[in-house]
Every structure is written in C-alpha cells, then in structure tokens.
Amino acid sequence: MIEELLDVVVRKRELQGDGVVVLDLTRRDGSLLPVFDAGAHVDIHIGPGLVRQYSLCSNPADLSVYRLGVLKDPASRGGSVGVHNTLLEGSEVQISAPRNLFPLAGEARRSILLGGGIGVTPMIAMAYALHDRGETFELHYCGRERCRSAFIEELANAPFAANVFTHFDDEGAEQKLDLAKVLGKGEVGVHMYTCGPGGFMDWVIQGACRQGYTEEHIHKEYFQVEVDTSGDSFEVVAARSGKTVQVAEGQTILDALAQVGIKIEISCEQGVCGTCLCDVLEGEPDHRDVYLTDDEKAGNDQILVCCSRAKSKKLVLDI
C-alpha cells in the first residue's frame, strides 16, 4: 500500500531560541488539513530517501495550519539540517497524514505534561486539547536557558498560560522542578506524559515509578535514541523472500538484509517510530527499541530491525 502524501507550503518560518526553527505549514491548495489528535506527528519528506518525524505543536482545533518546531542537531544525520537549510518561506514539501503514537488517555482526571527542551512540542498540542476540553492539567517546560528556548512567548500568551510552569537551569532555585511534588503520589486517573532528551526522560520516568505511577499512567515519546549494535553475530532467515543472511557484530539487521537485496521501509533508524516493524516467526529477539511496550516485547513476535538484535542464534522473519 502506497501512502498518500500531502502537498504543503511553508507559510511562515521563524527562528526561536537557539537553533529552533518553527514552521507553519498549510495545504498548497488552501483546503483544510486532516484532523489530528494531540501527540501526533507527521513524516516530512525532506529529500530523496530522507524522511523524518516531527511532532505537531499547533492547536488540534485549527486545521488551517500544522506547526512544527525543529531543533538543529549538531549530530544531525541529515534531517534537522535539511529542514533548516531547505524549508524556507514559500517552499513546498510533502508530508504524511498525522499519525499518533503518543495519544492522551481518554479517562484522565488530571494530566501532568513534562517537556524537556524541544520535547515540549507535543506537549503544546496536548495543552491546547486539554484546555479546550476543560480538563485539569499542568504543563512543565524544562530547559537549560530561557533565552535559548523556543515557544516562550506563545506559551506566555496561550489561553492556558495559567497552567504553564517553566524551569530553567540558569534561573533561581525557587523555580527548579521539584519532580516528586509535581507528580504527587500515583493515583488512578492521574496520567503523566514526558518527551525530551533521553537523560531527562529517564529521570522523569524513574521519578514517576518511585511515586507509585503504574506503566499505564506513564506516557512517553523519545525523539532520539543511541542505537546499540553490540553483541554476537546471528542468522536471519527472510521466510517469504527465501533468503538467509548473517548479521555481524556492530551491524543492524536492516543493513544485513539490504546486502541481500531485501529493502525494508525505514524512517528514524533509531527504534523510535516503528516504521521498520517486522513479524517474528521463530527465535528470540533482543529488543533495543523504545517503540514497543514491555508487553509487546515479552510477546517476542515483533521486532524493529533498525536497532534490535537476537538472543537466539537464528531469527526467522515474515518478510
């Protein structure tokens, strides 16, 4: 099945903070964009073979525009640099319809949103949605320096500004994030959402666990993860293709399959987006992604081939 792409135009481009470009995208023909739920992202087709995911940070109630915030990463593999260099005002680009791997829980009586740096982007859309629904929530925005952070003015002037709390390393101790106090004790109906750098998210998630939050009440979205390809070599059998390949230490299953002519659709290449998900027919995966839930990983019937490896000597995949 070929995904239908949307033709959009960069109607507004603004540099905010230190290295963040905020883009307003509208449909080229002027029609409304597809409906999306807070927490959704779109795939941007930046160039041939270069597709990256970015969270929507605009108000889900306004379908005239999709807003994105993209940090220029010094270690960019082409995505963020491509966005900064090529997506100028008036330029055209193709994007996917929104997909949501980070939705708001439907039964929450209180939501706590914790964004670190550029990880605040999906939280902004969530705040708009929760405000429009009249639900109880807080948005906590953490960063190193206020002057280097994006969305400061928008959040200060948002209709939910009273629900926004900022925490910056270069400001006074009184505004530092007291995680235990903010989270409180884990209770039924209280949901916590976090997005940001890995270290920040690990700290937040561990803190939530200490406060008694269950897995069902902790919601997370990673935007960058270091891929670990260490470990012994193993064999992968592509059942439908009738091909077998040896995956060497330091090599991904994805790369090994490509060497024998098996092409898997990819995007993030970091075990974040789920694009390269394959069914496992035999063998035990060594899951190294942050996409599958713990229960899904325990099932051992799926694997993300861009980052995960094998605990068994052989994996048979349904490809």
Domains annotated for the chain, with CATH where assigned, are 6-95 (2.40.30.10), 110-222 (3.40.50.80), 234-317 (3.10.20.30)
- Identify the H or E element spanning 113: strand 110-116
Nearest CA to 199 out of 144, 148, 146, 251 is that of 144
pTM over 0.75: yes
pLDDT of residue 211: 98
**Rounded distance between C-alpha atoms, residue 199 and residue 201, angstroms:** 5
**Rounded distance between C-alpha atoms, residue 84 and residue 229, angstroms:** 30
Residues of the chain falling short of pLDDT 70: 1-3, 74-77, 224-227
pLDDT of residue 292: 84
Nearest CA to 273 out of 223, 310, 228, 308 is that of 223
Nearest CA to 91 out of 103, 82, 78, 100 is that of 82
Residue 310 · residue 284 · CB < 8 Å: yes
- Identify the H or E element spanning 11: strand 6-16
**Rounded distance between C-alpha atoms, residue 29 and residue 63, angstroms:** 14
Residue 87 · residue 10 · CB < 8 Å: yes
In 113-145, which positions are buried (b, 16+ CB within 10 angstroms) versus exposed (e)? Answer: bbbbbbbbbbbbbbbbbbbeeeeebbbbbbbee
pLDDT of residue 51: 83
* Coil vs helix vs strand at 46: strand
